[in-house]
Structure formats: C-alpha cells, structure tokens
Amino acid sequence: MIPERTKALLLPVAAVAGLELWARAIDLQSDSLAPPSAIAAALAGAFKDGSILIATRDTLISAFAGLLIGSAIGLALGIALGIFHIFDRLMEVTIEAIRPIPSIALLPIALIALGFGYRMEILIVAFACIWPILILSRAAVGGIEPRLIEVSRALRLSPVDRVRKIIIPAALPRIFLAFRLAAGIALIVAVTVEIAINPIGLGAAIMTAQQALRPDLMLAYLLWIGIVGYLLNAGLVVAQRHLFGRAALVGDAA
Amino acid sequence: MNRSVLYWRAASFIVAAGFVAFWQIIASLRLVSPVFLPGPDRAWASLLRGFASGDLWEKLQGTLAHMAYGWFVASIAGIALGAMIGSSRMMRSYVAPSLEFLRPLPVSAIIPVAIAMFGLTQGMALFVIAFGAIWPMLLATIHGFAAVEPRLYEVARSLHMSRTAVIFKIALPSASPDILSGMRLSLTVALILSVVCEILAGLDGLGHWVLLSARAFRSADLFAGVILLGVIGYLTALVMSVAEKRLLRWRSSGH
Amino acid sequence: MPSAVWPQAISCTERPLIKFTDVALTLGGKTIVEDIGFDVRPGEFLCIIGASGCGKTTALRLAAGLYQPSRGTVTFDGEPMLAPRRDIAIVFQDYGKALLPWRTAAGNISLALETMGVAPSQRTARIDELLNKVGLPGHSGKYPAEMSGGMQQRLQIARCLAQEPKALLMDEPFGALDAMTRQGLQDEVLSLVAASRATVIFVTHDLEEAIYLGDRVIGLLPHPGRIGIELKIDLPRPRDQLRTRENPEFLALRRELFDFIKASEA
C-alpha cells in the first residue's frame, strides 16, 4: 500500500522530472517555456537581488489593505442586514444590482480617479471583498441558533451587548470562513489588476518578465504566486483551527 | 407570488431608485467632478447613444462571444475530465492533491504565459478564458462524482447496469447540483477574464470600450460600459438560477 | 403393463436455491464470519437474527454477491455467486439512499425496467401494476423526498419486484420505521412473497418479526459470526398479527431465541 502522501507527490514530481528531461532532450529555446531547473535558478536569483520580495510586499500590502477595508464594510453591512430584516428586505434590489458588477470593470474608473499605484488597486480589491463577506456574514448572523437570541432577551442585554456577547461570537466561525474565502479573492484580484494595468507587485513583475522574453523568470513568478496563494490559505486554515477548534470546521468545504 | 413579497419588492425598488436619485443629486451639484462621476442621466444617455450607433452592441457581443466560447469549452472538458477523475478512487488520490494545491492560484497569472505563446491575439484570450473557466467546473465535477451515494452503486451492480448507464443514469444526475454550481462559477470567471484580456490585448469587447473611455476621460461612456458589464453579470446569474431551479426541482420538494 | 418406476429425485428435499458451504469472510485481517453453511429451498422464507455485529448483514451481502467469500462457496441455483445477479433483488435498510432522489416513484421503478430491456410502451403499465401491489396507487409522480419512510421502503420493494426476482434479500428493511408501519409492511411482504413465490432471506434484529415472518430462523453468534441456532417455524399460514403472536408455539419459539441472544451476548 503506497501511503497517501506519496501518491499525492507522485504526479507533480513526475511532471517536473518529465519536463526537465524533455526540455534538455530537445534543447528548448522558447519565449514561453523553460526547463524546471532554469525556473528554479531564476527564482533563486530573484530572491537574491530582492526583486521578488519587493514585488511580494507590494502585492500583499494592496491585497491586505483591500481585504481589511472590504471586510470591514462587508461585515458591518452583513451583520446589520442579518439582524434587521426590514433593512435586509429594503436593500435587496440595490445589493442585487451592484453585486454582479465584476470588480475588474471598476478598473478604468479607479484608474482615472486615482491613477496608477496602491490606492486604485486597494479600491478594487476592497470592492471585490465586500460581497463574499457581506453575503456570508449575513447568513452567519441569520443562522444563529434562535435559542441564543432568546437567552440574550431573557438576560436583558442591551443591543450593543447583545451584538458583542452573543451575535458576534456565535457567528464568528462562519465569518472567519468567509474571511478566508475573501483573502483568496483579494490575492487573485490584486494580481489580476497588476497584470492588467498596474505597474507594481507580482503581477507587474510577471508581465515584465514576459515582455523581456525571460520565460524562466516569468514561470518562476508564476510558481511563486501559486506558493504565496497556497501559504496564505494554509496559514488561515491553521489559524481557523487554532481559534475555533473542530467546531468551526463543520460545514467547511475546503 | 404572495402580496407581502410583492410589496417588499416594490419598496426595495423604491430604495434603489432613491440611491440613484442621490447619485443624480451629487452629480448635478458637481460635488464630484463630472470627469470622474457622470450623473445617471448622462450615463443613460450614453447607453442609448451607444446602442443607437451600434457601437455598444458590437462590444457587448464581443464580450459575450468571448465568455460563451471559453465557458463552453471549459464545460465540456471540465465535466469530461472531472467525471473521469471523480469516479475513480485511484485517480483521485493521485490527482486531487495537486489540483487542491493549484486551486488558490490566481488564474490571471497564466495570461503572460499565454501572451508569450500566442501574442496579443484573439487566440490568447480564448486560451486564457477557457483555461480559467475549466477550474471551477473540474473541481466541482470531481467533487460531485466523488460524492455519489455508494449505496446507489450497489443498486446498479444488483441491476447489472452497464457502465454507460451507471454514468448517465446515476453518477451524472447525482453530481448535477455540484456541476451546476461549478458552471455558475465558471461563467463569473469567464466574464472577468474576458474583460481583462480585452483590456490587455485591445480585443473587441466591453473591456476595451471602458478602457478607451477612461483614457479619453469620457466618463459617461465609461459608466455605461460598467453598467452593461453589471447587467451581463446579473443576467448570467439569473439564467443559472432558473436553470438550477428547473433541473433541481427534486431537491426542493418534500421535507 | 406395470408403469415404469422411474427413480424420482428425492423430492422431500428439493435442490436448494441458495447454498452456503463452509463460508468464511475475512476483511482487513478480521474474520467477520466463518463456518457458515446453510441451504435455502425455493420459495422458503428464511430469517437471520443475531446480536449487533454478528455478521448477519455480511451473510446477506455474501448471498447477494456483493462480497466474495474468502473461503467456501456461495451458490445460486447450482452456480457459484461471483457477482450480483439481476434475478436477485436486494432491499436495503437505508431506503433513502437506495432510491434515486432525482427521479419520481415511477422513474425509480423504471430504472429496473430499463435495465431489463422492457420497451418504453410497456413500462407505464408495469409501473402502475407494481405501485398498486405495494399499496402506492397514484403516487407515480411523487419524488422520494415527498414520501414518508414507510412509503419509500414500499417504493424500494416495488423496484425490487420489477426485477422479477427469484430471490429477495432484505436487510433489516423495517428497522428504521415505527412499529405500526412495520407491522403493516410485514403483512404486505408476506402477501407479496406468497403471490410471487420468491425465495426470501430476511435479516432482522427483531426476534418476533423473524418468527412471525419466517419458515425458518437462523441465529448467528458474534465475533466471529457463526451459526448458533436453527429453528423451524411450524406456525400456520397465513400469519395474523394478533392470533399468531398469541399462539403458544410462537411464545415458546420467542423464549428460545431470546435465551439464545442473551447467551450469545454474555
């Protein structure tokens, strides 16, 4: 019986080895592909001269800032919509009208309003992050065990206390899950904005590498972006388990 | 639809109209420069103009064509591959972990590679859109096929059902809720990637339209384009909702 | 002229339909059942009882061809059971999982008819006939989720009957239902089986149910599962929920099985 771990690694290891052998065999000269060894070398080089670290920092700053702003707005609105059903019903059409706008469509608006740089990217990321947080935190608040609300009434808690002591803690695990989802979206949107037009961060770096006809560097950045995304998600999963234990993983799809 | 639902709907529309009026007031009072924020009146006028002259209609078709092509290819490939991988435990244990690793990867990062391979062409866009749209379909289909109730497979064995019959009569219908939600996600990804590729490669479509409008500071045209993109997003979500309700009738019955 | 006397096949014991010979099953290093040997004659109603974990479901699945024995043979009509057969129908306990939720009652029965190659034009008639037989007339358009537990189990039975089975294997089919529904279904099964003359292996943990339904009861001992007791049920047919259960013979059998179970759990 091959252990599951080994099985999981078999395909990627075989793919990498296969690509390396093939590239060597045909003496690959291409603008779009490079042997894994060259990719690794380019990655190491980018670390050495620090360029990849600067790019990573820029992307993560924009992503996190946008994530925090979007989450704050989405959370506030989501909780409000979850608690006050009247508010929820009145806002239905407005939310359903704005939500489907793809965040990337705001790119030109942000561009002419704020020009290139951090701010326009943060704005777009924030817009993209509002919706998953809003929808999921609204559902989280709406899904709170009604018994708990009754308890809060019996204890005669003030509205603020009720939100602080009962509603937020009860909804927190699902809200954190929404946050994890939004974090992934934040990274994706940030990189996309950089690839489309913004001259900062990992997206810009990968585009520059392509334009400079350096497929090894380009693919190195691609690999690195994947690693960053994976580590971000994995880190948040660890945090989730740590903060909420097994109770929070109920209903977790990923 | 009962009375109270209708009343709330109407009230909700009124609230939305209120926001639009608020927007109009801000624009008319020039609290924000009209270069950045046109009033809804100007945006609407631009929409009408664009359609009358046929320009916007062409761009709309361009984006829809990009989306449709990518989504179609992705659906076929995604469902076929997903069915194969999802129904075989062996394949799942070898392939699924790698796919899970690739899941959080920003799909737009493939664009530079595509540009290197195909240049700033239509082909590049179609490659990117199809590639991006496959992932949600593939992952959802694998999940759907992996989650088929094992008891049903035993029923199939007892009935001596052929392999084709098992796939089409048991596995596929069982996986259809997952497949449909994957399709929904795929459409969203296809829209986003269409816009990005149109911006980058200057291809005919709404993405290109909004970029040109932005560069020329024609804010009304810009907003008209953004609104249209929102409309596409809304309509595709609506179509998928309707499709899900009709095909998944059996889920809501009972309980 | 004297009539020739042909050597008759020994008719008091007809050839068994299902035969277990020295069957053992080991899964993952654990011996689940061993030394299982018994016959089931055509048309016989055999009940298998035993404490939890004694392997009665395993025995049924071996009879169904869903498991292959590690030792010994399971034969059906003389041939070894290497795989499930279309003329052996299995009624599962978890009826919800054994029905297709996306098909109506008619669609579920149709599944069996489709695999048997019944022409589309003839299916509706068969479906209606079967639904009537199991007491679900007019329910053909309902989805399983719209039906109660008892109705779903009847639907599963209807689908099994659509296979025109020679043998019906039932795995604690009424375990998940309330007592009243259970009793109603017990009588329905008895009349369905009498009409179709199918052979039945019925697994249950309910001693009274086993005696009420069966011609014979086999009790298994746990860890590993092996045959501990075999009782012939000579109660008159047709059975009746009140009269049969008050019959002194019934009570005596019940006592015997009860003592067996208690001893096996010790």
Inspect the interface and report whether the beta carbons of B98 and A8 lie closer than 8 Å. yes
pLDDT band at residue A188 using 50, 70 and 90 as cut-offs: very high
- Show me where the domains of chain A are located: 38-247
The yes/no answer to whether this complex scores an ipTM above 0.85 is yes
Tell me how far apart the alpha carbons of residues C171 and C205 are, in angstroms, rounded to a whole number. Answer: 10
Residue type, A203: G
Inspect the interface and report whether the beta carbons of A93 and B93 lie closer than 8 Å. no
Q: Going by beta carbons, is chain A in contact with chain C, meaning 3 or more pairs sit under 8 Å apart?
A: no
- Going from the C-alpha of A205 to that of each of A54, A59, A180, C154, C225, the distances in angstroms are 10, 10, 26, 65, 67
Inspect the interface and report whether the beta carbons of B116 and A90 lie closer than 8 Å. no
Tell me how far apart the alpha carbons of residues B230 and B60 are, in angstroms, rounded to a whole number. Answer: 12
Inspect the interface and report whether the beta carbons of B196 and A101 lie closer than 8 Å. no
Write out pLDDT tens, residues C215-250.
999 999 988 888 889 999 988 888 888 999 999 999
- Does residue C120 surpass a pLDDT of 50? yes
pLDDT band at residue A82 using 50, 70 and 90 as cut-offs: confident
The pLDDT value recorded for residue C16 is: 87
* Nearest CA-CA partner of B181 in B230, B129, B248: B248
CB neighbours of B95 closer than 8 A, spacing ≥ 6?
Answer: A11, B85
Which chain B residues have a beta carbon less than 8 Å from that of A222?
109-110, 112-113
- Does residue C11 surpass a pLDDT of 50? no
Touching check for B155 and chain C: CB below 8 Å?
Answer: yes
Nearest CB among B152, B159, B176 relative to C115 is that of: B159
The pLDDT value recorded for residue B171 is: 93
CB neighbours of C22 closer than 8 A, spacing ≥ 6?
Answer: C35, C36, C37, C71, C72, C73
Q: Domain C18-265: state its class.
A: alpha beta
> Counting Cβ atoms within 10 Å, is residue A141 exposed (0-12), middle (13-18) or buried (19+)?
buried
Mean pLDDT over residues B143-165, rounded? 92
**Residue C40, SS3?**
strand
Which chain A residues have a beta carbon less than 8 Å from that of B213?
108
CB neighbours of B182 closer than 8 A, spacing ≥ 6?
Answer: B78, B136, B137, B138, B139, B140, B141, B144
The pLDDT value recorded for residue C238 is: 87
- Does residue A105 surpass a pLDDT of 90? no
- CA triple A57-A59-A64, angle to 5 deg: 90
- Does residue A118 surpass a pLDDT of 50? yes
CA distance B188 to chain C (A): 27
φ, ψ dihedrals at C200, nearest 5°: -130, 135
Nearest CB among B106, B113, B219 relative to A191 is that of: B106
- Does residue C212 surpass a pLDDT of 90? yes
- Does residue C123 surpass a pLDDT of 70? yes
CB C171 within 8 A of CB C91: yes
Inspect the interface and report whether the beta carbons of B165 and C163 lie closer than 8 Å. no
CA distance B109 to chain A (A): 6
pLDDT band at residue A252 using 50, 70 and 90 as cut-offs: very low
The pLDDT value recorded for residue C215 is: 93
The pLDDT value recorded for residue C3 is: 40
Instruction: Using CA coordinates, name the residue in chain B closest to A88.
Output: B12
Which option is the CATH number for A38-247: 1.10.1300.10, 3.20.20.150, 3.30.70.360, 1.10.3720.10?
1.10.3720.10
pLDDT band at residue A27 using 50, 70 and 90 as cut-offs: confident
Best of B4, B101, B217 to disrupt the A interface (most A CBs within 10 Å) is: B101
Mean pLDDT over residues A22-37, rounded? 82
The pLDDT value recorded for residue C13 is: 56
Bridging pattern class, strands C216-221 and C226-232: antiparallel
The pLDDT value recorded for residue A246 is: 61
Nearest CB among A91, A97, A105 relative to B226 is that of: A105
pLDDT band at residue A97 using 50, 70 and 90 as cut-offs: confident
The pLDDT value recorded for residue A1 is: 65
pLDDT band at residue A48 using 50, 70 and 90 as cut-offs: confident
Chain Cα centroid distance, residue A178: 10
State the virtual CA torsion across B132, B221, A100, B40 in degrees, nearest 10. Answer: 170
- Does residue C48 surpass a pLDDT of 70? yes
pLDDT band at residue A247 using 50, 70 and 90 as cut-offs: low
* Nearest CA-CA partner of C253 in C215, C209, C205, C211: C211
Tell me how far apart the alpha carbons of residues C234 and A43 are, in angstroms, rounded to a whole number. Answer: 84
Mean pLDDT over residues B159-186, rounded? 91
DSSP state of C165: -
Instruction: Using CA coordinates, name the residue in chain A closest to B15.
Output: A90
Inspect the interface and report whether the beta carbons of A112 and B217 lie closer than 8 Å. yes
Q: Which chains touch C (3 or more CB pairs under 8 A)?
A: B
B222-240: buried (b, 16+ CB within 10 Å) or exposed (e) per residue?
Answer: bbbbbbbbbebbbebbeeb
Tell me how far apart the alpha carbons of residues B116 and C158 are, in angstroms, rounded to a whole number. Answer: 62
Inspect the interface and report whether the beta carbons of B157 and C66 lie closer than 8 Å. yes
CA distance C63 to chain B (A): 12
The pLDDT value recorded for residue B1 is: 59
Inspect the interface and report whether the beta carbons of B192 and A233 lie closer than 8 Å. no
- Going from the C-alpha of C37 to that of each of A79, A188, B63, C144, the distances in angstroms are 65, 64, 71, 38
Which percentage of chain A shows pLDDT scores above 70?
Answer: 96
- Does residue C141 surpass a pLDDT of 60? yes
User: Which has more confidence, B254 or B194?
Assistant: B194
* Nearest CA-CA partner of B231 in B10, B43, B53: B43
**What secondary structure does DSSP assign to C230-263, as a single string?**
EEE----SS--TTHHHH-HHHHHHHHHHHHHHHH
The pLDDT value recorded for residue B156 is: 94
B89-95 own/partner pairs: CB under 8 Å, 24+ apart = B92/B142, B92/B146, B93/A4, B93/A7, B93/A8, B94/A7, B94/A8, B94/A10, B94/A11, B95/A11
Helix (H) or strand (E) holding A41: helix A36-48
Inspect the interface and report whether the beta carbons of A100 and B9 lie closer than 8 Å. no
Which chain B residues have a beta carbon less than 8 Å from that of A31?
116-117
Q: Which chains touch A (3 or more CB pairs under 8 A)?
A: B
State the virtual CA torsion across A191, A194, A196, A197 in degrees, nearest 10. Answer: 170
Inspect the interface and report whether the beta carbons of A225 and B103 lie closer than 8 Å. no
CB C67 within 8 A of CB C25: yes
Which chain A residues have a beta carbon less than 8 Å from that of B113?
32, 210, 218-219, 222
Mean pLDDT over residues B167-184, rounded? 91
Report the predicted TM-score, pTM, of the whole model to 2 decimal places: 0.83
The pLDDT value recorded for residue A202 is: 92
Tell me how far apart the alpha carbons of residues A27 and B135 are, in angstroms, rounded to a whole number. Answer: 31
Mean pLDDT over residues C121-141, rounded? 91
Touching check for B60 and chain A: CB below 8 Å?
Answer: no
Write out pLDDT tens, residues B57-110.
889 999 999 999 889 999 999 999 999 888 888 888 888 888 888 887 888 899
- Mean pLDDT across chain C, nearest whole number? 88
Which chain B residues have a beta carbon less than 8 Å from that of A8?
93-94, 96-98
B246-249 own/partner pairs: CB under 8 Å, 24+ apart = B247/B176, B247/B180, B248/B176, B248/B177, B248/B180, B248/C102
CB A43 within 8 A of CB A228: no
Touching check for B245 and chain A: CB below 8 Å?
Answer: no
Query: Mind spelling out the 3-state secondary structure of B110-165?
Result: HHHHHHHHHCCCHHHHHHHHHHHHHHHHHHHHHHHHHCCCHHHHHHHHHCCCCHHH
The pLDDT value recorded for residue C4 is: 43
Write out pLDDT tens, residues C81-111.
889 999 899 999 999 999 999 999 999 999 9
Mean pLDDT over residues A102-122, rounded? 88
Structure tokens at C20: 């277990």
- Going from the C-alpha of C72 to that of each of A49, C38, C225, the distances in angstroms are 72, 12, 15
Tell me how far apart the alpha carbons of residues B28 and A88 are, in angstroms, rounded to a whole number. Answer: 29
Q: Chain B window 194-233: which residues touch C at a Cβ cutoff of 8 Å?
A: none
- Does residue A3 surpass a pLDDT of 80? no
Residue A90 CB coordination number (10 Å): 19
CA distance B152 to chain C (A): 6
- Mean pLDDT across chain B, nearest whole number? 88
Taking each helix axis as running N to C, give the angle between helix B89-102 and helix A4-26, from 0 to 180 degrees, rounded to the nearest 10: 70
Write out pLDDT tens, residues A199-230.
899 999 999 998 888 888 999 999 999 999 98
Write out pLDDT tens, residues A140-160.
888 777 788 788 888 888 877
Write out pLDDT tens, residues C13-31.
568 889 998 899 988 888 8
Instruction: Using CA coordinates, name the residue in chain B closest to A186.
Output: B106
Inspect the interface and report whether the beta carbons of B160 and C84 lie closer than 8 Å. yes
The pLDDT value recorded for residue B8 is: 86
Strand order in the sheet with C30-40: C30-40, C18-27, C71-76, C79-80
